[in-house]
């Protein structure tokens, strides 16, 4: 290999590493790793990074992209599952709060009704006492 080819491959490898670590110098941050983006990051035309000239590097880039796409897909699935679980728990909390509020309302109504019945009983007992006074004790 000539020194010019090694220099170009080194530039491609450095560009590949910068994209992998999301620290590009030419492209904006967050640019996905791809064969074309590695070439652009290296400051060359995308057609300069050819499989015929750099087969090992191309295989590394493709393998990295494939592995990270799978990891990102798994990560997305995990995030979606966590989001669904969080939404399910939020819905469950709202449902339980509504049940609690309904139970409190029923309890308050029952307590009010008990008080009303106790007052009614006291009123009726007082009226009964007026009509039929309680028996008195006989003294000797």
Residue-wise pLDDT tens digits, 71-121:
888 888 899 999 999 999 999 999 999 999 999 999 999 999 999 999 999
The answer to whether residues 70 and 52 touch, using CB atoms and an 8 Å cutoff, is no
pLDDT at residue 5 greater than cutoff 60: no
Per-residue pLDDT, averaged over 56-61, amounts to 91
pTM of the model: 0.49
User: Residue 50 contacts by C-beta under 8 Å, 6 or more apart in sequence?
Assistant: 58
Closest of 33, 20, 24, 37 to residue 62, by C-alpha = 33
Q: What is the C-alpha separation between 49 and 39, in angstroms, rounded?
A: 6
Closest of 46, 54, 51, 53 to residue 13, by C-alpha = 54
């Amino acid at each position: 290999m000539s020194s010019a080819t090694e220099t170009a491959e080194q530039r491609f490898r450095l560009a590949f590493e910068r994209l992998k670590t999301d620290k590009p110098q030419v492209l904006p941050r967050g640019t996905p790793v791809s064969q074309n983006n590695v070439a652009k990051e290296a400051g060359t035309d995308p057609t300069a990074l050819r499989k015929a000239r750099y087969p090992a590097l191309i295989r590394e880039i493709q393998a990295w992209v494939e592995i990270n796409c799978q990891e990102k897909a798994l990560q997305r699935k995990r995030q979606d599952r966590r989001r669904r679980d969080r939404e399910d728990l939020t819905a469950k909390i709202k449902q339980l709060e509504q049940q609690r509020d309904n139970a409190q309302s029923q309890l308050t109504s029952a307590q009010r009704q008990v008080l009303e019945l106790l007052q009614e009983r006291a009123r009726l007992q007082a009226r009964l006492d007026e009509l039929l006074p309680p028996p008195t004790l006989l003294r000797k």
